[in-house]
Amino acid sequence: MTFKLAASPHSHQRRTTKQVMRWVYLALVPGLLTIIYFFGWGVIWQLMLAVITAWVAEALCMKLRGRPIESAWHDHTALVTAILLGISIPGFAPWWIIVIGTAFSIIIVKHVYGGVGMNIFNPAMAGYVVLLISFPVQMTSWPLPVQLSQIDLSFFDSAVLIFTGYTPSGYDLEQLRMGADGMTMATPLDSLRTALNHEMTIDEALQQPIFGSIAGLGWQWVNAAFLLGGLVLLKVRVINWHIPVGMLLGLAVPAALAWMFSPDQSVSPVMHLFSGATMLGAFFIATDPVTAATSNRGRLYFGLLIGFLVFAIRTWGGYPDAVAFAVLLANMTVPVIDKYTQPVAYGHGEKS
Amino acid sequence: MSAAAKKAIETGKIWTFPGGIHPPERKELSNHSPIGQLALAATYVVPIKQHTGAPGEICVAVDERVLRGQPLTQSTTGQGLPVHAPTSGTVTAIGPGRIAHPSGMADIVIRIRADGEDESVPQQGLTDYTQVSRAELLDSIRLAGIAGLGGAGFPTAQKLALQRPIDYLIINGVECEPYISADDRLMREHAESIIDGAEILLHLAGCNKGLVAIEDNKPEAIAAMQDVLQQHPHFSLRVVPTKYPSGGEKQLIQLLTGRQVPSRGLPIDIGLIMQNVGTAYAVSRAIRHGEALTERVVTVTGEAVAKPGNYWVRIGTPVAHVLQQTGFQAQDNEQRIIMGGPMMGFTLPDVDVPIVKISNCLLVPSTTELAPAQQEMPCIRCGACSDVCPAELLPQQLQWLAKAKDHEGLEKQNLFDCIECGACAYVCPSEIPLVHYYRKAKAEIRNIAREKAKAEIARERFEARNERLEREKEQRLERHRKAAEARKKAQQEQVKSGGDNPQDAVQAAIARAKARKAAQQKAADEQASSNDEDNA
Ligand code: SF4
Ligand code: SF4
């Protein structure tokens, strides 16, 4: 009788990629709920469009590369890319924005570089940046928090708006973004920038209705919810602390310094941490393992770099949010970081 | 080792090592009952090489009757390790046979048909080993055929023979591999002999400090050893936390001393020597009772055997016999027979291969307890593998480089410091058989190095041969030139002296010389080519 041959180890921890990904989806839920609560149903439609596009694009690539099409369905990395992009773009952006962005992320950023595990750039963020550069107007038209908005949109109204550009009652996106005073309102980070450029002090700027108690109205809670989800991921050890802690420190420390030296002219560290895509970026985007540095020490530096770049771009740059650019720039430095942070193997250090 | 380093060790401090995993231990399956005996098998298969190093020369013949403990091989160099007959019986065959090896390769084995008498060679033990010379003691250990029973199979006497300063002897009773409880049971039942063997080893190592390490999941073994150790002030007990692979030589050294064995070096380079508890036990038996190593404790476990437990198994017992005695039932055609534990053991293609000195476990799992490997998925670079690597390597980079056959990159990433513990593959969510790739890459690199060395030798030999032929040719020409001259002279003299018909004689001489030359040339060529064959 002959027996089955297998390579050691014969024991395996039953935690598959699928389970890991399930935690990621679960951890995104609180953030998603707060987005819906504050910014309406648009995000759900964006997510659906993103996921469908990702699957079609993935299947297409598989076919072109001569692989079984079903394997597209096994691959959760495409799904995560789609979800992150769907969450990152303005909720009521026209449908073709997300479709183009997701297709670009999957086909160009991921597959042209060789598929899972081979891409250099974070696919979701590369897609985001391409959209931002190509369609700046649509990509910066963030809806007002529902609480400030004059118009209430139902689930289906949102769909109509996304697909036709008008709500069933004939409003367009621009009108939706008007406050009670009939002025279009920018996002909190934008308003701050504008205010500072107009020589207002921070305190004056923060008087605007778009701000809540610690950061932008709505945004602060969205960030808090992503922080919560991120902590869950840390707890169940789906991610390690190095990247998120690195990124938050990299952002908060320079922000605190600047704030200490010129409190009137700078955004407070807390404001930084709870604005824009900070928490989503720190726990869900920058942690993409494929495009991050390799060793834990390297990942700490990688996180710090992203945090600092976010601070720098928000402070001196011209774009509304900085996380996408910061992540892509940091992606480019990964080979260098890896080179200098290779762990000292057993028997090579001074302990031997 | 510096005084400060020793002082730190003396405090009883337990350091940590990076990474490591906590797989299900499953030791309760086999560690409840005392070590059992198996009925004698009808035949035994003793491979002549069961240790690292050269085998000895076979010193028995087919049809010869042998007794238990009788050496079947001996070594003339004083280096090789003998193997012994596991029971009394008749040698039925000597020749190639399959042995338990990850590659399923064949080696020379000696087959013995047991006669059921189990008659032993007379044994003579020593009561006071301090009265005999060190060399004699080492020789007794070597002649008893003792090699490290923990898994590496390095000849114990050879390890001790290195005359280098040693600060600590470490007795390894950690047994971190899941399922295995052979050392656990041995410590519970034979603590006295183990420590006795450890004292002998300490005496031979020429140092006065020993550390006995046990993982904290074996409270009974700890208690038993503690009890005995009270009378042995040279030794102190170190209980290490349960974590795989804390029993690995390098990891245990790090745990007990905070130091690391230099890459490609040996523990002795940092004044340490490590022996397994089973080895210490065998040393005690060899010295005190004159017993050769003919049996060892083997854990037979897994849900596919009816009577899991630990057994004294004669070296050379076919695996089939062990499994049959313990009530093995193959579950399905996914059944695996693993020699060793679930982390580092290897699967056997069939059960005809014998138990050898380093076989500590036979694991026959059901598919529900150890699920077969799943489809390998692409690496997602999650880093789980590098988080658990005790050697602080980057397994994800290694697998990538191994697949790309980038040997230079592999060496740069220290592939050869990988201890093949399997922790990385255990956690990999993409179920990549990482260790399998590393083994393959290591073998490839070694092969290339071997080929290179071979080519180098061949080149040198080729050049030497050319030189020699050149030299011989010149010598030959020189001889012929001289002979021709002499002949010419003789001829001239003959002509001068007016001999008759010299022309005929000249012709005949030329023909003879030609024939001789041809014959000489042929012989020289033949010899040269046969020399080359010998050397090849
Ligand atoms: S654990 Fe597996 S999938 Fe994750 S980085 Fe290591 S090799 Fe890649
Ligand atoms: S098998 Fe090698 S690479 Fe993997 S964890 Fe063990 S030492 Fe590290």
Sheet holding B106-114, edge to edge: B43-47, B106-114, B89-98, B65-66
Rounded mean pLDDT, B308-319: 96
* Interatomic CA distance for residues B148 and A233, integer angstroms: 45
pLDDT, tens digit (0-9, with 9 covering 90-100), for A225-265: 999 999 999 999 889 999 999 999 999 999 999 989 888 77
Nearest Cα to B51, choosing from B135, B141, B131? Answer: B141
pLDDT > 90? residue B354: yes
Asked if A240 and A336 sit in the same domain, the reply is yes
Asked if A113 and A58 sit in the same domain, the reply is yes
Q: What share of chain B is helix, strand, coil (3-state, %, to 5)?
A: 40, 15, 40
pLDDT, tens digit (0-9, with 9 covering 90-100), for B454-512: 888 888 888 888 888 988 898 899 888 888 888 888 888 877 766 556 566 667 777 77
Q: Which residues of A touch B (CB under 8 A)?
A: 1-17, 19-20, 74, 77, 115-117, 240, 289-290, 292, 294-296, 299, 342-349, 351-352
pLDDT, tens digit (0-9, with 9 covering 90-100), for B45-68: 999 988 888 888 899 999 999 999
- Closest-CA residue, ligand 1 atom 3, reads B379
Asked if A166 and A196 sit in the same domain, the reply is no
Whether residue A345 and residue B336 make contact (CB cut-off 8 A), yes or no, is no
Three-state DSSP class for residue B71:
strand
CATH topology (fold) of B9-347: Rossmann fold (3.40.50)
Whether residue B263 and residue A346 make contact (CB cut-off 8 A), yes or no, is yes
Ligand 2 centroid vs B385 CA: distance in angstroms? Answer: 8
Ligand 2 centroid vs B411 CA: distance in angstroms? Answer: 14
Asked if A97 and A237 sit in the same domain, the reply is no
Asked if A177 and A190 sit in the same domain, the reply is no
Contacts of B530 (CB under 8 A, 6+ apart): none
* Interatomic CA distance for residues A333 and B425, integer angstroms: 28
Cβ burial of B234 (10 Å; 0-12, 13-18, 19+) is: middle
Q: Where are the domains of chain B?
A: 9-347, 379-515
- Closest-CA residue, ligand 1 atom 4, reads B382
Q: Which of B259, B382, B422 comes nearest A289 by C-beta?
A: B382
Asked if A242 and A330 sit in the same domain, the reply is yes
Q: Whole-number mean pLDDT of chain A?
A: 85
Asked whether residue A270 is domain-assigned, the answer is yes
Asked if A298 and A175 sit in the same domain, the reply is no
Rounded mean pLDDT, A321-333: 92
Tokens found for residue A208? 């605007």
pLDDT > 90? residue B110: yes
B409/chain A closest Cα distance in angstroms:
12
Asked if A155 and A64 sit in the same domain, the reply is yes
The verdict on the CB of residue B423 being under 6 Å from ligand 2 is yes
Q: Which of B336, B373, B429 comes nearest A17 by C-beta?
A: B429
Q: In this predicted structure, what is the pLDDT of residue B500?
A: 57
Whether residue A346 and residue B265 make contact (CB cut-off 8 A), yes or no, is no
Q: Are A334 and A327 in contact (CB under 8 A)?
A: no
**pLDDT tier for residue A186 given thresholds of 50, 70 and 90:** low
Q: Are A40 and A33 in contact (CB under 8 A)?
A: no
Q: Which residues of A touch B333 (CB under 8 A)?
A: 4
Asked if A162 and A202 sit in the same domain, the reply is no
Beta-sheet strands, E only, within B250-402: 272-276, 295-301, 309-314, 338-339, 346-347, 361-363
Asked whether residue A36 is domain-assigned, the answer is no
Residue A227 sits in which domain range? 186-341
Asked if A300 and A167 sit in the same domain, the reply is no
Least distant ligand from the CA of B397: 1
Mutate to test the pocket of ligand 2, among B251, B414, B434 (most ligand atoms within 8 A of CB): B434
Whether residue A347 and residue B335 make contact (CB cut-off 8 A), yes or no, is no
Name the domain count of chain A. Answer: 2
Whether residue B342 and residue A9 make contact (CB cut-off 8 A), yes or no, is yes
Asked if A172 and A190 sit in the same domain, the reply is no
Q: Give the residue ranges of the annotated binding site of B.
A: 379, 382, 385, 389, 418, 421, 424, 428
pLDDT > 90? residue A50: yes
B414/chain A closest Cα distance in angstroms:
7
Asked whether residue A205 is domain-assigned, the answer is yes
The residue length of chain A stands at 352
Q: Which of B263, B370, B380 comes nearest A116 by C-beta?
A: B380
pLDDT, tens digit (0-9, with 9 covering 90-100), for B207-223: 889 999 999 999 999 99
pLDDT > 80? residue A196: no
Tokens found for residue B189? 């039942």
Asked if A96 and A234 sit in the same domain, the reply is no
* Interatomic CA distance for residues A242 and A285, integer angstroms: 13
A51/chain B closest Cα distance in angstroms:
20
pLDDT, tens digit (0-9, with 9 covering 90-100), for B265-297: 999 999 999 999 999 999 999 999 999 999 999
The verdict on the CB of residue B21 being under 6 Å from ligand 2 is no
pTM: 0.83
